[in-house]
A and B are shown apart, each in its own frame.
Chain A
Amino acid sequence: MSIGWYLVVSALVFCIGAGGVLTRRNPLVVLLCLELMLNAANIALIAFARMWGNVDGQIFAIVVMVVAACEVCIGLGLVVAIYRRRLPIDVDELRELQG
């Protein structure tokens, strides 16, 4: 399959993830949609690594996975802290940082 197909799949997954971030109100699902967007970037990076016949893009993908793991760690820690404080688990109601 040509590289372009992989890029189209990547674009589609990224857009689904972006739509999910905008429409869902549960912070857990928002985090899952962020994962989708990061994974879409990973497909594009690995497709370009294949296109150039070079492993540098795969290193980038591994670093993206590390960043995604950190994001999950902190995000889930925040969700647990919100739950412990008996606050509503809803991004629309958690608007104290809005200014």
Chain B
Amino acid sequence: MTEVLFFIAAIGAIAGAVGVVSLQNPFYSVLALVFHLLSLAALFLLLQAQFVAAAQVVVYAGAVMVLYVFVVAYVGAAEAAHFKSPVGGGQRTLAIGFALALFVELCIAVLGSGLDAIGTDGPTVAFGFGGPSQLGQALLTKFLVAFEVASYLLLIAAVGAVVLARRRGGIHDEEETRVSAMAFLRPPGVGTMAEAVEGRTGTPEHRELGPPVGTGAPREDAP
């Protein structure tokens, strides 16, 4: 039974990987990667890693792939305009040859290693091996520093992604005006601090006054 499940999951994982590399449409590549990740979660379950398998399905195949799908849908229109095939000719042959050579080398490394336990199924483990309690205990005692560093890394990456993908002034051509209900209640020339910093104002009266002094933006009707 284990063998059958292993071969189904392994063939699924490899087929998904081949699909990611060979499919032309990036959207289908993302779907193939989702299939690959689900097959991989089955492999993790066969290896008694229940928590990692659950995290793989929920976090990876769920959240991260949704992010991919959003970006592919956002960029997809420009992508279709100049649709590019993979590299061809000598570079392609060279890349496939390199990948094959790497595979042969890794197989030699696996088969030629001195580890005796590679040919076995692994030791019998206690019930609950790879469960949340065991992993949580290891994360908060033995690997506490790694845990904290990983959380800082996530924070830095989140801030970095916002900084990278934010809308900068000068790229968008059309003027963006945001009018809220509060803008009509305020007297002209009064706004929020965010509007003062960005140099945008809400109502037409605000716009006649121009951006506030000191923001670097030119004042058209400077007194």
Contacts and interface: CB of A to CB of B under 8 A. Distances in A.
Contacts of B55: 62, 65
Q: In the complex, which range does the number of interface residues on chain A fall in?
A: 35 or more
A3 interface: yes
Contact of B33 (A32, A47, A92): A32
B79 interface: yes
Interface in A69-95: 69-74, 76-81, 83-85, 88-90, 92
Interface in B50-92: 51-52, 55-56, 59-60, 64, 67-68, 71-72, 74-75, 78-79, 82, 84, 86-87, 91-92
Contacts, number: 246
Given A11-B110, A55-B138, A74 B121 contact: no
Interface stretch (B153-161, B179-187, B195-203, B215-223): B153-161
11 contacts: A19-B99, A22-B95, A36-B20, A36-B36, A46-B44, A47-B47, A53-B124, A58-B51, A69-B64, A74-B157, A84-B167
Interface of B: 2-3, 6, 10, 13-14, 17-18, 20-21, 26, 29-30, 33, 36-37, 40, 43-44, 46-49, 51-52, 55-56, 59-60, 64, 67-68, 71-72, 74-75, 78-79, 82, 84, 86-87, 91-92, 94-96, 98-100, 102-103, 106-107, 110-111, 115, 117-125, 129-130, 134-135, 138-139, 142-143, 146, 150, 153-154, 156-158, 160-165, 167-168, 171
